[in-house]
Amino acid sequence: MKYSELVDSVRRRGALETAEQARDTTTAVLSTAAHSLDPADRRALASELPGSLDEAVLVPGQREHRSGSDLVIEVAQRLHTTQERARYLAKAVVDGLRDTDADVVERLRERLDSDLIDLLDAGGQPPQRARSVRAEVPTELSEEEVATALRGLTGWEGDHTGISRTVLLPEEAVTPLVNRVEREARAANDHAHVERVQGGVRFTLRTGRAAVTEPDIQLAERIDRIVEAGPGR
């Protein structure tokens, strides 16, 4: 197993920007998992890892029994991120190990007294939909998250690629409504796609070409309040 190949795989799979971030992520995940191994198994795992990483699993103390969820919580704390993002990063490390030496992952599965590997093998959100990829980039919401958000809105429909609401109202009321919505969108540094339709206007919200993010949901809530308040409010 080559250190550079493992770190590069983790960087790509975890949508990390630098090799240093990938190294820190790999170290955090391996150190956390190592607490669930017997000391002898830690030494065996260390012997299979590149020299730059063997110390990560040589943690002190006896074996600690933890569930996969417990391990994800600790990884989140170590990396100062959310549990959703921590699970994705831990999965990136496991997949990176599998890329470079699949036998190591299978031996880990046998040694770990937890559901960690099964948890990380389960399907998860791709990196751009896992929270906290980069703080300045809005998180793309999953299909399930958008469906949940739509249930709390009025008259909106769509999916994770975009949501729309058609508001029926007299012709003379369309322009004032559109102006108010556009002011709200600018204030929130967002944008509403506006389409005049027969008997009203349709608002469509999405970020980029085809993604719904949390700011889009927040703007939809503002539009609902504007429509509910009525003309001139």
Q: Residue ranges of the domains in the chain?
A: 3-129, 143-229
Dist. CA 133–CA 26, nearest whole Å:
16
- pTM equals 0.56
pLDDT-derived band of residue 72, with 50, 70 and 90 as boundaries? confident
Residue of 8 and 190 predicted with greater confidence: 8
Dist. CA 51–CA 55, nearest whole Å:
8
pLDDT digits (tens, 9 = 90+) for 100-139: 888 888 888 888 766 666 666 655 555 555 554 554 556 7
Domains 3-129 and 143-229 share a fold: no
CB atoms within 10 A of CB 198: 5
- CATH of region 3-129, choose from 1.10.357.10, 1.10.490.110, 2.40.50.140, 1.10.10.10: 1.10.490.110
pLDDT-derived band of residue 232, with 50, 70 and 90 as boundaries? low
> Alpha-carbon torsion 16, 97, 25, 123, what sign?
positive
Dist. CA 77–CA 61, nearest whole Å:
20
pLDDT given for residue 123 in this prediction: 53
Which of 56-60, 161-165, 205-209 has the least mean pLDDT? Answer: 205-209
Q: Is-contact 81 5, C-beta < 8 A?
A: no
> 155 CB contacts (<8 Å, ≥6 apart)?
165, 166, 167, 224
Q: Is-contact 14 75, C-beta < 8 A?
A: no
pLDDT digits (tens, 9 = 90+) for 4-36: 999 999 998 888 889 999 999 999 999 998 998
Q: Is-contact 216 205, C-beta < 8 A?
A: yes
Looking at the structure, give the CATH architecture of the domain made up of residues 143-229: 2-Layer Sandwich (3.30)
How does DSSP assign 152-173, residue by residue?
Answer: TSSSEEEETTEEEEEEE--HHH
Query: DSSP H helical segments within 101-232, as ranges?
Result: 102-111, 116-121, 143-151, 171-187, 214-229
Dist. CA 162–CA 84, nearest whole Å:
23
CB atoms within 10 A of CB 216: 26
Q: Is the per-residue pLDDT at 208 higher than 80?
A: no
